[in-house]
């Protein structure tokens, strides 16, 4: 499943938000993911900003990005109209309550909230939710504690590295293997990708990721904290194609005991037994008398030993196909 992470790239524009949904739907993503920031409920005005975004203080940035309840309801309805699932990250109990009131079932717990046990306890008051739990900056004990708290709902545990952009050596696909070994089939697994390009996300499918999240933007030159490492429309379109093709490649199985699909190809490409020289009637056949070439009909080269030491019943010319009727 492909998650188009829209994050804050809409920059508070309702129109941009709808156009980003259009983009995700056209690329055949399965989810669009927003972030519901309520500045007064999640940050102090003097809270530090991340190193990769210093253009605006966090509080005012989040304040400016906020949509009204009416706008959120329209966004959710717009997703339904375009047959793409709506998902949203929460950063406070207030944002959780709003989403629940809007009927939202797909809730993302961002990496920075994994240790916020009071918030997770609030989440656990509700049931029948799909909780996407990011793990970008969490230790195993912290993840264990979060999972224990979120025991009422379906969990999709997401490997993520909280680095923007994430260097290749820090992607940590091995963690997907570790998660599956540690938790087994109790949860589903996904990969929230902050690296450049599509390679890491594609590789994650082979490590068992069933959900892949990638940031999307109209242009990497757009304002905000996400655009620089997000995928532009053409990139994301090709990304979705590659992800869906890779899923088919991984799931498709070939039975090597069934060669029926290759019978015609075998007839075309496999070598047959032919005479290397003129062999006269009554002569014994030795390996030196045989050659192996592509031919119409005849006996496969692998059966050559069945002819050795046998007398030929009829004189054969060079390059003539030899079959069992000749011995």
Go through the domains of the chain in sequence order and give each one's CATH number. 2-251 (3.20.20.70), 260-326 (3.90.1210.10)
How many C-beta atoms lie closer than 10 Å to residue 222's C-beta?
16
Instruction: Indicate yes or no: pTM above 0.75.
Output: yes
**pLDDT given for residue 244 in this prediction:** 94
Q: In the numeric block, which tokens belong to residue 54?
A: 């210093």
10-residue averages of pLDDT along the chain (327 residues): 93 94 96 94 84 75 91 98 97 96 97 95 94 94 96 93 86 94 96 92 95 94 81 96 94 91 91 96 96 95 96 95 94
Residue with tokens 């000749």: 326
182 close to 159: Cβ distance less than 8 angstroms: no
Across the chain, where does the E strand assignment appear?
2-7, 31-36, 85-90, 106-109, 130-134, 154-160, 188-193, 211-215, 272-275, 290-293
**pLDDT given for residue 289 in this prediction:** 97
**pLDDT given for residue 52 in this prediction:** 64
Q: In the numeric block, which tokens belong to residue 3?
A: 């998650």
């Amino acid at each position: 499943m492909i998650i188009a992470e829209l994050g804050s790239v809409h920059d508070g524009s309702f129109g941009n938000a709808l156009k980003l949904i259009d983009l995700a739907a056209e690329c055949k993503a399965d989810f669009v993911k927003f972030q519901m920031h309520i500045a007064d409920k999640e940050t102090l005005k003097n809270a530090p900003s991340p190193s990769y975004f210093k253009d605006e203080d966090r509080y005012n940035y989040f304040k400016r990005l906020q949509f009204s309840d009416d706008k959120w309801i329209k966004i959710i309805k717009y997703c339904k109209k375009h047959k793409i699932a709506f998902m949203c990250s929460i950063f406070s109990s207030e944002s959780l309550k709003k989403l629940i009131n809007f009927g939202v079932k797909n809730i993302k717990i961002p990496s920075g909230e994994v240790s916020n046990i009071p918030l997770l306890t609030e989440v656990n008051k509700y049931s029948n939710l799909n909780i996407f739990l990011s793990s970008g900056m969490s230790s195993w004990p912290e993840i264990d504690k979060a999972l224990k708290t979120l025991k009422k709902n379906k969990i999709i545990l997401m490997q993520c590295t909280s680095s923007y952009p994430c260097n290749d050596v820090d992607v940590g696909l091995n963690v997907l293997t570790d998660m599956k070994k540690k938790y087994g089939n109790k949860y589903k697994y996904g990969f929230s990708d902050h690296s450049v390009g599509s390679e890491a996300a594609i590789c994650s499918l082979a490590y068992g990721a069933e959900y892949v999240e990638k940031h999307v933007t109209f242009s990497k030159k757009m304002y905000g904290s996400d655009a620089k490492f997000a995928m532009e429309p053409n990139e994301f379109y090709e990304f979705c194609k590659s992800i869906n093709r890779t899923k088919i490649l991984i799931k498709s199985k070939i039975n090597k005991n069934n060669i029926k699909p290759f019978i015609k190809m075998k007839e075309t490409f496999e070598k047959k037994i032919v005479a290397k020289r003129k062999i006269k009637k009554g002569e014994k056949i030795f390996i030196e008398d045989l050659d192996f070439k592509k031919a119409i009909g005849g006996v496969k080269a692998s059966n050559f030993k069945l002819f050795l030491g046998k007398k030929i019943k009829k004189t054969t010319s060079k390059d003539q196909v030899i079959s069992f009727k000749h011995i």
